[in-house]
Amino acid sequence: MLDSFKVNLTPFNRERTIRVYLPANYDSSQQRYPVLYMHDGQYLFRDEDTKRGGSWKIGDSLDSSGYEVIVVGIDCSGGLFRIEEYGPWENDFIRERIDGVKGTVGGQGELYVDYIVNELKPMIDEKYRTKKEDTAMAGSSMGGLITLFAACKYPSVFTKIACMSSAFWFNEEKLKQCIELSDLQFIEKMYVDIGTNEDTGRMSSEAYLQCNKWVYSLLKDKVSNLKFTVIENGVHTGKAWGERFPGIIEYLFGKEIGQ
């Protein structure tokens, strides 16, 4: 079952659609469910919601898996606004690669994460039967970057984390400092993956691979339950992330619910 509603991202005064997947037995039971927050919401559930077709089909994956999780998909904004919101710090080179214009982009990510924790999460916890203390976050590419940042800033809120094909190259020095200064002892499980063929035309496969490897090297001594996977021939597409999703859900929630 898929619910949806509009919200105002108050730090930016931007309207956004929130898409909420509810387990099949939600209406017939009174149980409470863990919640997984995800970015790029319009690409998560149905092909018709995307601009290019080819969603992750997360609802289908969960329906067939037996894992009972509420998934909250937050639609991304278009164009550079997506990078602004998912970039915790400013980047001074990627905009020129995108549209040929010199300048910085990013820097709104902290406000975006604060909005999720302080406004959206209380709304979701009030509206649905959630396990308030069992909250996860997942994202891919720039969504993976902002997910790791959220884990570093709010490790006692987002205790299960999945970062797929993450754009950790966005501001490496700031990210390194952020990880090193963060207390991640509350993180119960963290999943990080990267494919060997992630070239996007703006950043090379090698850049993606190397930045994910050094992030893993920083995280491995700070997170007790960390899974890092290099996927041979893995590519930078929604279809690829959707194929990985069942295994990620099993890792994050497999010993707790559904099976």
pLDDT digits (tens, 9 = 90+) for 117-128: 999 999 999 999
Query: If pLDDT is split at 50, 70 and 90, which confidence band does 54 have?
Result: confident
Give mean pLDDT, residues 180-205. Answer: 97
Q: Is 75 exposed, middle or buried (0-12, 13-18, 19+ CB in 10 A)?
A: buried
Look at residue 94 and tell me whether its pLDDT is greater than 80.
Answer: yes
Q: Does residue 257 register a pLDDT over 50?
A: no
Residue 8: left if φ>0, alpha if ψ -120 to 50, beta else—which one?
beta
Buried b (16+ CB within 10 A) or exposed e, 210-248: ebbeebbebbeebbeebbbbebeebbbbbebbbebbeeb
Q: What is the mean pLDDT of residues 171-183?
A: 97
CB contact at 8 A, 56 and 64: no
* Planar angle of CA 71, 72, 78, nearest 5 degrees: 130
Residue the block writes with tokens 């992750």: 56
| Domains of the chain as residue ranges with CATH | 2-253 (3.40.50.1820)
> Does residue 255 surpass a pLDDT of 70?
no
- The distance of Cα 238 from the centroid of its chain, to the nearest Å, equals 13
pLDDT tens-digit series, residues 196-250: 999 999 999 999 999 999 999 999 999 999 999 999 999 999 999 999 999 999 9
Task: Band the pLDDT of 53: cuts 50, 70, 90.
Answer: low
Q: What is the mean pLDDT of residues 146-164?
A: 98
Average pLDDT of the segment spanning 110-119: 98
Q: What is the pLDDT of residue 79?
A: 85
Q: How much is the mean pLDDT over the chain? A: 95
